[in-house]
Amino acid sequence: MPRVPAVNGAKLIKILLKKGFVLNRVSGSHHILINPTKQITISVPVHKGKTLGKGITLAIIKDSQITIEEFLKLL
């Protein structure tokens, strides 16, 4: 399994937007994205100047049904 690089919330949101997600709303520091075709809702924490931990990044990738290889290509 390839290593997942550390990314910030804004970069992860850009990747999810490329995969068909749309921004539904912003609740505090969390951006809520939905994929209307797959009926998936994802919450991404966005804290300026901070990178997401590898665990939360992997969990978001898994929940959004994106493979790690697809994620790495979209970086």
pLDDT at 5 over 90: no
Q: What's the start-to-end Cα distance of the chain, in Å? A: 17
CATH topology for 9-74 is: Metal Transport, Frataxin; Chain A (3.30.920)
pLDDT at 12 over 90: yes
pLDDT at 1 over 70: no
Beta bridge partners, 19, equal: none
Domain residue ranges of the chain, discontinuous segments joined by +: 9-74
On whether the CB atoms of residues 19 and 74 are closer than 8 A, the answer is yes
pLDDT tier, 3 (very low <50, low <70, confident <90, very high otherwise): confident
Give the pLDDT confidence of 22-74 residue by residue, as tens digits: 999 999 999 999 999 989 999 999 998 899 999 999 999 999 999 999 999 99
Q: pTM of the entire structure?
A: 0.89
Distance between CA 45 and CA 47 in Å, rounded?
A: 6
